[in-house]
Amino acid sequence: MLHPWFDPSHDEFSNPMRDARTDLLADSQPDLQADSPAGSQKDVRLNALADPFRRRLFSAALLSATGGALAMAGWPLPALAASGGRAGSLLHGFASLAVSSADEVRLAPGFAAKPLFVWGDPISDGPQARADASDSAAEQMQQAGMHHDGMHFFPFSENDQSSSTHGLLCINHEYTDDGLLHVGGTADWSAEKVAKSKAATGVSVIEVQRGKDGWQVVRPSKWARRISADTPCRLSGPARAHPAMPTTTGAAT
């Protein structure tokens, strides 16, 4: 079963970050009275955030969104320790590393890392990127984009439980290095190079699973896909019908 965010039958996707923004917006309204139901909810939220221990837990919860993905790539994160009603160190059991300018991955003793999904890797059963950068834009759309940034793990549901070892990993490709992406770099700039640069940014959705040899990308996968600057997007909410939303290619969808 897919996470609700990925269920195409939903016209309105469930978005906890949007709901959180709605809560914060409600907190900013001056007409909420303490004796009203909305005002009472506001007080509960404010009291929760005023407690230092709860603030630390809230921070840890936000970190966990990307922490799970980092752990999949071989970067285990320490557990949150608490004692006497106060949050303990988030780095419990992690040996500090000295400051270094070395161009290398450095890990504390007992930790390990290995590449999981790098630029040019196929998202499913498509082609691997060629070393001479001669891949076309269409081929790049079947491969990992450049410069991984934000990511989130969406677990599959197995036996009515969210799996911690199998799901979809969504990765943002922040920008391109056109000197490496194209044959000849930025020289002889063309429409084809523009298309490939657009294909190398956006998002990769890949299926990942943890086995005895660690985390692996599942190939082929019917869930794998790429999202780029050319991918049609469906808009929802009050902005959908705004006059500024239609593009030169048609109405906002």
75 contacts: CB under 8 Å, gap ≥ 6: 111, 113
In angstroms and rounded to an integer, the radius of gyration of the C-alpha atoms of the chain is 22
Q: Give the separation between CA 7 and CA 10, rounded to whole angstroms.
A: 6
Q: Quick one: pLDDT band at residue 144, thresholds 50, 70, 90?
A: very high
124 vs 83 pLDDT, higher one: 124
pLDDT at residue 123 greater than cutoff 80? yes
Report DSSP state, residue 232.
Answer: -
Place of tokens 């996968």: 221
pLDDT tens profile 13-33:
444 444 433 333 334 344 444
Q: Please report, rounded to a whole number, the percentage of residues in the chain having pLDDT higher than 70.
A: 62
The pTM assigned to this predicted structure is 0.61
Closest-CA residue to 221 (of 147, 146, 125): 125
**Ranges of H-type helices in the chain:** 16-27, 37-50, 52-72, 137-140, 178-181, 191-199
